[in-house]
Chain A
Amino acid sequence: GESVGLHLPTLSVQEGDNSIINCAYSNSASDYFIWYKQESGKGPQFIIDIRSNMDKRQGQRVTVLLNKTVKHLSLQIAATQPGDSAVYFCAEKVNGYGNKLVFGAGTILRVKS
Chain B
Amino acid sequence: EPEVTQTPSHQVTQMGQEVILRCVPISNHLYFYWYRQILGQKVEFLVSFYNNEISEKSEIFDDQFSVERPDGSNFTLKIRSTKLEDSAMYFCASSPLTGAFNQPQHFGDGTRLSIL
Chain A residues within CB distance 8 Å of chain B:
3, 5-6, 31-32, 34, 36, 41-46, 49, 51, 89, 91, 93, 97-106
Contacts and interface: CB of A to CB of B under 8 A. Distances in A.
B67 to A, nearest CB: 14
B42 A106 contact: yes
A89 B31 contact: no
B108 A102 contact: no
Given A42-B110, A103-B43, 18 more contacts: A3-B41, A6-B41, A32-B102, A43-B108, A44-B91, A46-B105, A46-B107, A93-B102, A98-B48, A99-B56, A99-B95, A99-B105, A100-B33, A100-B45, A100-B56, A101-B35, A103-B42, A104-B42
A42 B44 CA distance: 16
Contact of B43 (A5, A32, A89): A89
Contact of A100 (B41, B48, B91): B48
B109 A43 contact: yes
A49 B55 CA distance: 23
A42 B91 CA distance: 10
A99 B55 contact: yes
Contact of B107 (A31, A44, A102, A104): A44
